[in-house]
């Protein structure tokens, strides 16, 4: 029997680093477990995880340690994209063998203006090299960062060639009409579309999408998950307005260091602030301004302090 597809709210889990910039396994595991306790899945090694500042061996080792710590794999969708076919296939095969629910795969993003045929060959080569029936690929469309879009025609070709392996998409275009067009074109074929943030969450579900994968689910997972579950109710509409306000605050800052500052503040754990260059930590003045705006919204991170206390022991 095939495993159930991932749906709902997922977080591109931010990666805590020690002062020497090595991954902090204890805090990473604690954050993953806290997110799951808030009914939020794990899209670790995504954009907000600083995955492209990490070696493939680091990602693979960290994933192994999270699994060894008892974190369930069925709600994991680790990022496995790379510019190198060899690296993408290696990391994808490793994650699939560990039993993850799916992988989130960037297109090869270094060369710009590449033809659809080249992208088709890249994804095709990775799928064939992995050669595992359990593989479920979620295409990662993030043109504001990658500048290499995943087109409707490419999705159509990949679904035709690999209907079992090509499972869906994260659309981080921040363009709801585009996301909706992907749902309308391919949801009938079992292609699951996640919006790249929570702002159109209710619209996404009503249109036939399956949820969202959002940076701010790192700090606001519970309320976003509640919105997903209550999408057809007045309470859901009210929650949507509030989570959008939180998102609006966070979009006023550099997202990755800002998320880490929030976790450090609400988790009472200053060790969360380091980022890998070229990113730079949020300074105290900026951080206090952000926290004041969040507090004004009545924002909290329930249970985080206790989760981080265990990690710090």
Please say if 261 is a catalytic residue: no
Q: How far apart are CA 162 and CA 279, in angstroms?
A: 37
* Catalytic residue (one of 90, 123, 138, 140): 140
- DSSP-derived letter for residue 17 is B
Contacts of 40 (CB under 8 A, 6+ apart): 8, 9, 10, 11, 217, 221, 222, 224, 225
219 is annotated as contributing to ligand binding: no
Please say if 170 is a catalytic residue: yes
Handedness of CA 84, 190, 35, 133 (dihedral sign): negative
- The candidate with the shortest Cα–Cα distance to 79, out of 64, 68, 91, is 91
* Catalytic residue (one of 33, 90, 170, 260): 170
107 and 146 Cβ atoms separated by less than 8 Å: yes
C-beta atoms surrounding 127 within 10 Å: 21
Bridge partners, 104 (sequence order): 79, 138
- DSSP-derived letter for residue 151 is -
Annotated binding site for pyruvate: 213
Annotated binding site: 213
Active site positions, annotated: 140, 170
């Amino acid at each position: 029997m095939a495993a159930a597809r991932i749906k709902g709210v997922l977080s591109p889990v931010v990666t805590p680093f020690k002062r020497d910039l090595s991954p902090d396994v204890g805090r990473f595991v604690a954050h993953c477990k806290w997110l799951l306790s808030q009914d939020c899945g794990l899209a670790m090694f995504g954009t907000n995880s600083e995955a492209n500042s990490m070696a493939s061996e680091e990602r693979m080792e960290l994933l192994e340690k999270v699994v060894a710590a008892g974190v369930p794999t069925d709600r994991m969708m680790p990022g496995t994209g790379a510019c190198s076919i060899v690296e993408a296939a290696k990391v994808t095969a490793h994650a699939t063998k560990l039993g993850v629910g799916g992988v989130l795969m960037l297109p090869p993003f270094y060369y710009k203006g590449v033809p659809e045929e080249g992208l088709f060959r890249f994804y095709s080569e990775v799928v064939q090299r992995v050669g595992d029936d359990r593989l479920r690929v979620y295409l990662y469309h993030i043109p504001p960062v990658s500048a290499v879009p995943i087109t409707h025609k490419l999705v159509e070709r990949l679904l035709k060639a690999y209907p079992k392996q090509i499972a869906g998409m994260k659309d981080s275009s921040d363009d709801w009409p585009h996301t909706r067009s992907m749902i309308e074109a391919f949801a009938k074929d079992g292609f699951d579309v996640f919006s790249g943030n929570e702002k159109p969450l209710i619209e996404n579900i009503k249109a036939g999408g399956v949820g969202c994968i959002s940076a701010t689910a790192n700090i606001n997972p519970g309320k976003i998950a509640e919105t997903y579950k209550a999408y057809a109710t007045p309470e859901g509409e009210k929650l949507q307005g509030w989570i959008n306000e939180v998102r609006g605050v966070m979009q006023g800052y550099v997202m990755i260091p800002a998320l880490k500052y929030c976790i450090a503040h609400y988790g009472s754990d200053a060790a969360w602030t380091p980022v890998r260059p070229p990113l730079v930590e949020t300074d105290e003045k900026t951080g206090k301004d952000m926290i004041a705006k969040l507090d004004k919204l009545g924002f909290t991170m329930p249970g985080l302090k206790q989760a981080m206390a265990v990690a710090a022991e």
